[in-house]
Amino acid sequence: MIDIIPYLIGRIAGSISGKAEDISRKYLGFSESLFYPPIVFLLSILILLVVILPKTIGMMEDL
């Protein structure tokens, strides 16, 4: 069960970075931005702290 958590975090961070790349291509008109990797990294950490961490702590308390 606990082995699944890092995989899920990786999938979520990957989907966020993919969406940010799509948005930058579509609206800003450039394929690779120097500014997006730090923003995506910070966004994924924020989502990790706000959404995933409380759920995993709650699941671990239930065990």
Q: Per-domain residue ranges for the chain?
A: 4-58
CA of 50: how far to CAs of 18, 53, 55, 56, in Å?
A: 20, 7, 9, 11
Q: Is the pTM of this model over 0.85?
A: no
Confidence (pLDDT) at 14: 74
Model pLDDT for residues 1-51, shown as the tens digit of each residue: 567 777 777 787 777 767 766 766 666 655 555 556 666 677 777 777 777
| 21-51 residues labelled b (16+ CB within 10 A) or e (exposed) | beebeeeeeeeeeeebeeebeebbeeeeeee
